[in-house]
């Protein structure tokens, strides 16, 4: 809440821009802040082009205008083919427990040191200007500027991927992107081509069920897990290998939106997650994750009932616990979106010595694709020199020339071996990157898929059966929504055939809601196993009860009680929560005469923006607001989205009494501040079946 609003316009003394009949306009002062061309030539007039006479044509001679427009015309670069929409922040990585026993990588052995990093979160399917809240996987890419070179962990917020072999990636993406003939739907998997492809590729079933789950609708980037997905190797000083999978565990816990909220947020604020991160970091509420590893040997891997080189398989934490060894804190917003967030170039092939790849065929294909795409997107093999991509440790190579070479190597000698300049950097057996000396069996060369990759249903079954009833209902409802958008009957039928292998009850729920008959189960390439359920796969119920990262909307209007507002603000802030003041007008006078500036107008800030709401209004205002549909939706939506509501007497009498809002344990009077604060830390899921028709 901004009090004592200052209406002084800092530009008030400036003269209007010249152009209206030749008035002079504000020129730069003499302190050196002069606008110049790229060549450093000071510009005298940035408002008018050079003309032959006041009403005559513009002259080609006008290098100021030509340079300005020429640069503008070239401002766009190709957006990423996938993960085009993203937001990022700076921060640091700190190791708390050394993995000395397993690796030589300093980033995993030197504890207590803060190493800078840059993390970008993204949606996959939508274009750069699409919304933040589609049903989609989220990218989770971390670039750690280690003292032994950059390490990029290019992962997702789900621990598995749709396909097992990189050669299928272009097909997967063509299927989910807008259909090529019509150019829609944007940022959506709910269409025929996607479900046609996935229903013909049973290996997608595991990632698909995650996509249908609440994980695909993160409430905040700070409330998502991150996964490196593939198995990598750690190499010790003797070259001994241990397999590893990387995990980021959000301190705020995993929290998600409800689909109906996500849909409404798309319209009201397409930048919802981006804004949330920017504002939180700006307010000193940093985003934090624990860093964990699952470590296992080749022999242990041989005992898993699945192949860990298959990226459609997760390793249950009960089988290999996640050992927490460090943390990531995001504490600084980028200074410039394009220079940093847009130009950052992640490549899974960026690894420091002591870490190595596994033979996962999806990972192997990625090692080619990312470098290739950066050349297209950033336009030059010198993209590594862009500040956000450059290592922060010393680096030296013999690469020369190319578009936009920024370095000026001062030497005759850009080759090796050489004997002309003995000070030039050379390869180092001691420090250099070594690949694992893997003994390979003599297989045959061929386009082969390992037999051990054949089981496509056991893990989606484990995932579904590990969920709480509320989460299972969300999953079933999501399948119904998505398949309800599929017009080709045989595609829907084919999907039901797969669901029958995952869980009969799930298949039944989806078929019933779609009004379809269940078909025969799909052909399964391997017997389906009943794996033990795994609690860490749940989200609801595992979220820490905390206000940290959560936002409360307080509705006020003319004459609202200032002391009451402050009481709520203080209580919420004290627990690490954030508050936004919402009012019918932008500026409001409170009961004690204080004029405040509301953060949002109620018509522009539906309650889907908030995790809980409070209403502190006087009767005359409540009567007025009771006629305003956006105010009525404010309360109804908060209720149907299972949120905590604190109401004053006037709200109860004139607004809530008109609405289908039951006074359950999460709908409490203002006087019950403590109950509200507790409720605001979570949702009342038991309310959901009363307000929503779930499959
Ligand atoms: Fe990918 C971007 C994650 C498989 C090809 N991918 C990209 C980004 C993320 C992922 C988070 C955004 C990076 C950023 O923020 O700039 N991709 C994954 C994960 C995968 C995966 C977790 C499987 C485990 N990707 C994958 C395959 C291929 C690609 C199999 C190609 C064969 N991915 C790309 C790409 C992108 C990309 C086309 C687009 C922009 C970029 O690389 O920099 O090369």
Predicted confidence band at 24 (pLDDT cuts at 50, 70, 90)?
Answer: very low
Instruction: Report the distance separating Cα 650 and Cα 621, nearest Å.
Output: 9
| 666-692 confidence digits (pLDDT tens) | 999 999 999 999 999 999 999 999 999
Chain-centroid distance of CA 656 in Å reads: 36
Would you say residue 20 has pLDDT above 60?
no
Instruction: Report the distance separating Cα 189 and Cα 176, nearest Å.
Output: 6
The answer to whether the CB of 160 is under 6 A from ligand 1 is no
Would you say residue 201 has pLDDT above 70?
yes
Distance between start and end Cα atoms, the chain:
42
Do the beta carbons of residue 17 and residue 609 sit within 8 Å? Answer: no
Q: Which atom of ligand 1 is nearest to the CA of 155?
A: 22
State the distance from the centre of ligand 1 to the C-alpha of 99, rounded, in angstroms.
28
State the distance from the centre of ligand 1 to the C-alpha of 369, rounded, in angstroms.
8
Q: Which atom of ligand 1 is nearest to the CA of 227?
A: 22
Mean residue pLDDT across the chain:
95
The answer to whether the CB of 141 is under 6 A from ligand 1 is yes
pLDDT value of position 353: 98
Chain-centroid distance of CA 468 in Å reads: 24
Do the beta carbons of residue 506 and residue 499 sit within 8 Å? Answer: yes
Report, as an integer, the average pLDDT of 228-252: 98
The answer to whether the CB of 124 is under 6 A from ligand 1 is no
The answer to whether the CB of 291 is under 6 A from ligand 1 is no
User: What token pair was written down for 215?
Assistant: 């994980």
pLDDT value of position 441: 79
Radius of gyration of the chain measured on its C-alpha atoms: 29
Helix-helix angle 489-502:469-484, to 10 degrees:
160
Q: Give the residue among 102, 104, 118, 110 at the shortest CA–CA distance from 151.
A: 118
State the distance from the centre of ligand 1 to the C-alpha of 373, rounded, in angstroms.
9
Q: Angle at Cα 98 formed by Cα 92 and Cα 104, nearest 5°?
A: 95
Q: What is the DSSP string of 389-454?
A: TS-SS---------TT-------S--SSS-SS-TTS----TTTS-------------SS---GGG-
Instruction: Report the distance separating Cα 104 and Cα 351, nearest Å.
Output: 12
The answer to whether the CB of 81 is under 6 A from ligand 1 is yes
Do the beta carbons of residue 396 and residue 413 sit within 8 Å? Answer: no
Residue 212 in 3-state DSSP? coil
Q: Give the residue among 544, 687, 671, 666 at the shortest CA–CA distance from 612.
A: 666
Would you say residue 83 has pLDDT above 90?
yes
State the distance from the centre of ligand 1 to the C-alpha of 82, rounded, in angstroms.
7
Residue 221 in 3-state DSSP? helix
Could you say which of 90, 150, 156, 562 is catalytic?
A: 156
Note if 156 is an active site residue.
Answer: yes
Mutation choice for ligand 1 from 121, 369, 377, 386, CB with most ligand atoms inside 8 A: 369
Torsion sign (Cα): 508, 511, 517, 519? negative
Q: What is the DSSP letter of 132?
A: S
Instruction: Report the distance separating Cα 404 and Cα 422, nearest Å.
Output: 28
Q: What whole-number percentage of the chain has pLDDT above 90?
A: 94
Q: Residue 227: which H helix or E strand, with range?
A: strand 226-227
The answer to whether the CB of 311 is under 6 A from ligand 1 is yes
The answer to whether the CB of 109 is under 6 A from ligand 1 is no
Query: Which protein residue's CA is at the shortest distance from atom 26 of ligand 1?
Result: 366
Respond yes or no on whether the N-terminal peptide bond of residue 128 is cis (omega within 30° of 0): no
Query: Which protein residue's CA is at the shortest distance from atom 27 of ligand 1?
Result: 366
CATH class entry, domain 452-537: mainly alpha
pLDDT value of position 7: 84
The answer to whether the CB of 122 is under 6 A from ligand 1 is yes
Predicted confidence band at 1 (pLDDT cuts at 50, 70, 90)?
Answer: low
| 586-608 confidence digits (pLDDT tens) | 999 999 999 999 999 999 999 99
Q: Which atom of ligand 1 is nearest to the CA of 374?
A: 43
Instruction: Report the distance separating Cα 409 and Cα 312, nearest Å.
Output: 46
Query: Which protein residue's CA is at the shortest distance from atom 3 of ligand 1?
Result: 155
Mutation choice for ligand 1 from 138, 204, 227, 370, CB with most ligand atoms inside 8 A: 370
Q: What is the DSSP letter of 95?
A: E
Instruction: Report the distance separating Cα 63 and Cα 69, nearest Å.
Output: 10
The answer to whether the CB of 161 is under 6 A from ligand 1 is yes
Please tell me the least confidently modeled range out of 167-181, 438-452, 610-624: 438-452
Burial tier of 11 (Cβ tally within 10 Å: 0-12, 13-18, 19+): exposed
Q: In what order do the strands lie in the sheet with 2-3?
A: 2-3, 595-597, 587-589
Burial of 535-547, coded b for 16+ CB within 10 Å and e otherwise, reads: ebbbbbeebeeeb
| Full 3-state SS string of 309-361 | CCCCCCCCCCCCCCEEEEEEEEEECCCCHHHHHHCCCCCCCCCCCCEEECCCH
Would you say residue 651 has pLDDT above 80?
yes
The answer to whether the CB of 382 is under 6 A from ligand 1 is no
pLDDT value of position 606: 98
Q: Which atom of ligand 1 is nearest to the CA of 163?
A: 30
Mutation choice for ligand 1 from 86, 248, 346, 384, CB with most ligand atoms inside 8 A: 346
Query: Which protein residue's CA is at the shortest distance from atom 18 of ligand 1?
Result: 155
Predicted confidence band at 2 (pLDDT cuts at 50, 70, 90)?
Answer: low
Query: Which protein residue's CA is at the shortest distance from atom 15 of ligand 1?
Result: 120
| 455-512 confidence digits (pLDDT tens) | 999 999 999 999 999 999 999 999 999 999 999 999 999 999 999 999 999 999 999 9
Architecture in CATH of 551-691: 3-Layer(aba) Sandwich (3.40)
Note if 206 is an active site residue.
Answer: no
List Cβ neighbours of 241 (8 Å cut-off, separation of 6 or more): 233, 234, 235, 298, 356, 436, 438
Q: For residues 21, 23, 26 and 29, what is the CA-based torsion angle, rounded to 10 degrees?
A: 130
List, by residue range, all CATH 1.20.1370.20 domains of the chain.
452-537
Instruction: Report the distance separating Cα 121 and Cα 87, nearest Å.
Output: 5
| Residues paired with residue 139 on neighbouring β-strands, in sequence order | 122, 156
Burial of 232-258, coded b for 16+ CB within 10 Å and e otherwise, reads: bbbbeeeeebbbbbbbbbbbbbbbbbb
Q: Which atom of ligand 1 is nearest to the CA of 121?
A: 15
| 378-402 confidence digits (pLDDT tens) | 999 999 999 999 999 999 999 999 9
Instruction: Report the distance separating Cα 138 and Cα 356, nearest Å.
Output: 25
Q: Which atom of ligand 1 is nearest to the CA of 141?
A: 11
Would you say residue 224 has pLDDT above 70?
yes
Do the beta carbons of residue 468 and residue 694 sit within 8 Å? Answer: no
The answer to whether the CB of 229 is under 6 A from ligand 1 is yes
Do the beta carbons of residue 222 and residue 423 sit within 8 Å? Answer: no
| 305-342 confidence digits (pLDDT tens) | 999 999 999 999 999 999 999 999 999 999 999 999 99
List, by residue range, all CATH 3.40.50.880 domains of the chain.
551-691
User: What token pair was written down for 290?
Assistant: 């624990």
Instruction: Report the distance separating Cα 58 and Cα 118, nearest Å.
Output: 45
Could you say which of 4, 25, 71, 83 is catalytic?
A: 83
pLDDT value of position 309: 98
Do the beta carbons of residue 452 and residue 521 sit within 8 Å? Answer: no
State the distance from the centre of ligand 1 to the C-alpha of 135, rounded, in angstroms.
18
The answer to whether the CB of 364 is under 6 A from ligand 1 is no
pLDDT value of position 442: 74
Query: Which protein residue's CA is at the shortest distance from atom 44 of ligand 1?
Result: 370
Task: Indicate the CATH number of 86-194+201-385 among 3.40.50.300, 1.10.1040.10, 2.40.180.10, 3.20.20.70.
Answer: 2.40.180.10
The answer to whether the CB of 373 is under 6 A from ligand 1 is yes
Q: What whole-number percentage of the chain has pLDDT above 70?
A: 97
Predicted confidence band at 555 (pLDDT cuts at 50, 70, 90)?
Answer: very high
Residue 170 in 3-state DSSP? helix
State the distance from the centre of ligand 1 to the C-alpha of 638, rounded, in angstroms.
36
The answer to whether the CB of 82 is under 6 A from ligand 1 is yes
Predicted confidence band at 31 (pLDDT cuts at 50, 70, 90)?
Answer: low
List, by residue range, all CATH 2.40.180.10 domains of the chain.
86-194+201-385
């Amino acid at each position: 809440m901004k009090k004592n609003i200052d209406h002084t316009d800092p530009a008030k003394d400036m003269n209007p821009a010249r152009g209206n009949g030749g008035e002079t306009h504000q020129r730069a002062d003499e302190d050196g802040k002069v606008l110049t061309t790229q060549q450093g030539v000071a510009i005298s007039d940035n408002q008018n082009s050079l003309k032959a006479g006041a009403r005559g044509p513009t002259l080609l001679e006008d290098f100021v205008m030509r340079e300005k427009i020429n640069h503008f015309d070239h401002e766009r670069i190709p957006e990423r083919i996938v993960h085009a929409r993203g937001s990022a922040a700076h921060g640091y990585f700190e190791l708390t427990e050394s993995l000395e026993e397993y690796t030589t990588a300093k980033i995993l052995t030197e504890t207590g040191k803060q190493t800078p990093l840059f993390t970008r979160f993204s949606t996959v399917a939508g274009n750069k200007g699409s919304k933040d809240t589609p049903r989609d996987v989220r990218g989770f890419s971390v670039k750690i500027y280690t003292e032994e070179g950059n390490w990029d962990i290019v992962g997702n917020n789900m621990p598995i991927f749709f396909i097992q072999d990189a050669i299928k990636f272009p097909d997967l993406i063509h299927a989910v992107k807008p259909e090529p003939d019509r150019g829609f739907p944007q940022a959506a998997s709910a269409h025929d081509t996607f479900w046609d492809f996935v229903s013909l590729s049973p290996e997608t079933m595991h990632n698909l069920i995650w996509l249908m789950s609440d994980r695909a609708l993160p409430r905040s980037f700070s409330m998502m897990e991150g996964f490196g997905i593939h198995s990598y190797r750690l190499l010790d000083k003797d070259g001994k290998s241990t397999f590893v999978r990387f995990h980021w565990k959000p301190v705020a816990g995993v929290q998600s939106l409800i689909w109906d909220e996500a849909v409404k947020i798309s319209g009201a604020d397409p930048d919802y997650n981006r804004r949330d991160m920017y504002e939180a970091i700006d307010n000193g509420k940093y985003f934090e994750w624990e860093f964990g590893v699952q470590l296992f040997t080749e022999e242990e891997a041989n005992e898993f009932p699945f192949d860990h080189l298959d990226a459609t398989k997760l390793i249950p934490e009960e089988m290999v616990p996640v050992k927490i060894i460090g943390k990531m804190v995001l504490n600084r917003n980028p200074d410039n979106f394009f220079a940093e967030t847009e130009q950052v170039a992640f490549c899974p092939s960026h690894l420091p010595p002591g870490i190595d790849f596994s033979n996962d065929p999806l990972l192997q294909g990625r090692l080619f694709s990312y470098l290739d795409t950066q050349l297209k997107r950033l336009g030059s093999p010198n993209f590594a020199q862009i500040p956000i991509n450059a290592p922060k440790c010393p680096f030296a190579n013999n690469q020369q020339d190319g578009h936009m070479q920024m370095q000026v190597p001062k030497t005759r000698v850009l080759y090796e071996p050489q004997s002309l300049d003995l000070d030039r950097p050379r390869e180092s057996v001691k420090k250099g990157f070594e690949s694992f000396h893997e003994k390979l069996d003599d297989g045959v060369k061929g386009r082969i898929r390992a037999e051990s990759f054949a089981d496509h249903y056991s893990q989606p079954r484990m995932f579904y059966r590990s969920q709480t009833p509320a989460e299972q209902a969300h999953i079933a409802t999501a399948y119904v929504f998505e398949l309800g958008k599929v017009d080709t009957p045989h595609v829907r039928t084919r999907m039901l055939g797969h669901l029958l292998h995952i869980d009969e009850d799930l298949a039944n729920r989806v078929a019933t809601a779609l009004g379809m008959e269940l078909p025969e189960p799909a052909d399964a390439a391997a017997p389906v196993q009943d794996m033990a359920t795994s609690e860490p796969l749940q989200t609801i119920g595992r979220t820490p009860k905390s206000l940290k990262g959560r936002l409360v909307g307080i509705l006020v209007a003319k004459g609202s009680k200032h002391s009451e507002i402050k009481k709520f603000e203080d209580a919420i802030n004290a627990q690490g929560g954030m508050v936004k003041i919402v009012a019918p007008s932008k500026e409001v006078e409170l009961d004690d005469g204080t004029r405040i500036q509301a953060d949002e107008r109620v018509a522009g800030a539906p309650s889907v923006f908030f995790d809980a709401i409070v209403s502190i209004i006087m009767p005359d205002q409540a009567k007025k607001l009771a006629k305003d549909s956006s105010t009525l939706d404010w309360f109804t939506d908060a209720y149907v989205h299972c949120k905590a509501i604190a109401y004053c007497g006037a709200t109860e009498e004139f607004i809530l009494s008109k609405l289908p809002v039951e006074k359950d344990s999460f709908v409490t009077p203002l006087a019950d501040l403590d109950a509200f604060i507790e409720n605001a830390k979570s949702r009342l899921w038991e309310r959901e079946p009363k307000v929503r028709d779930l499959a």
